[in-house]
Amino acid sequence: MNLLEQTQYLIKKSGLKPNRLKGQNFCIDEKVLANMIKAAEVTAKETVVEVGAGFGFLTEALVKKAGQVIAVELEPVLARILKNIQAVNANLEVMEGDILTIQDHGLLKVDKYKIVANLPYSITSVFLKKFLTAKNQPSSMTLLLQREVAERICARAGQLSLLAISVQLYARPTIVSFIQPASFWPKPTVQSAIIKIDQLHAFPYSDVKEEHFWRIVKSGYCAKRKTLHNNLANSLHHPKDQVSEILAKIGLKNTVRAQELTIEHWHNLTLILDK
């Protein structure tokens, strides 16, 4: 049976009803799974944390490549299926539960590890924040996301969203390939993309506090249709003429908008505003 036939068989046997709100669009394209493993550069000495393991198609491929695989699955029906795979693979551990809660409670007890995941859109931002800012960051994350989200994460200066900054401040994101809806069942209405996030590191600035940096950035993005000048003046309660002087110091006009700034601009703004 191909992956579509296996998926339909397991759906029928388990009685599971795929929930779009939970992001239960199962990848049925072996080439996509192979590309994810290739992009992740998995070796026999490494631990891989797979998030949203589903029916275990990617899991079965990962256990052949990695030293250890930890498959995390929220859906109890799917977790039971994964435990059948665990029974015949000594290097596989299945964890049933929400990856966000598991991370919060420190239950994911691994040292060096990579993440491979088919993430639902609803948790993407929170998931990325938790693992990018974790004390024990993964060495890389290879993720299957909606194309629009992947493109936002990898945007260049001039189009930087809050999401893009939250990733690019701590790592290097790269789009590996775009995926058509036909590679999933049920078929989604949007395209997807494989994205690799590597070169992870801690907050890169020692001369400003991390929480101050984010306070300034979030203030700048607080109203999408307004200029950075207005957002900073309103959110931080600074006189508008003072904000104009600050922007001028780093070479920015009053008409500039938040998405036009580079990460270094935000760093310089934080330096000045902290004083």
Please tell me the distance from the alpha carbon of residue 55 to that of residue 73, in angstroms, as a whole number: 10
Q: What is the CATH number of the domain that holds 49?
A: 3.40.50.150
- Percent of the chain at pLDDT exceeding 90: 89
Which of 134, 165, 198 terminates a domain? The answer is 198
What average pLDDT does the segment 227-249 reach? Answer: 95
Band of residue 195 on the pLDDT scale cut at 50, 70, 90: very high
How many independent structural domains does the chain possess?
Answer: 2
pTM: 0.94
Give the model's pLDDT for residue 21. Answer: 60
Q: What is the CATH number of the domain that holds 231?
A: 1.10.8.100
The residue segments making up the domain with residue 98 are 3-198
Which tokens in the block code for residue 31?
């080439």
Please tell me the distance from the alpha carbon of residue 62 to that of residue 147, in angstroms, as a whole number: 24
Band of residue 104 on the pLDDT scale cut at 50, 70, 90: confident
Answer whether residue 192 is part of any domain: yes
Looking at the structure, do residues 97 and 154 belong to the same domain, yes or no? yes
Cβ atoms 116, 136 nearer than 8 A: no
Looking at the structure, do residues 115 and 240 belong to the same domain, yes or no? no
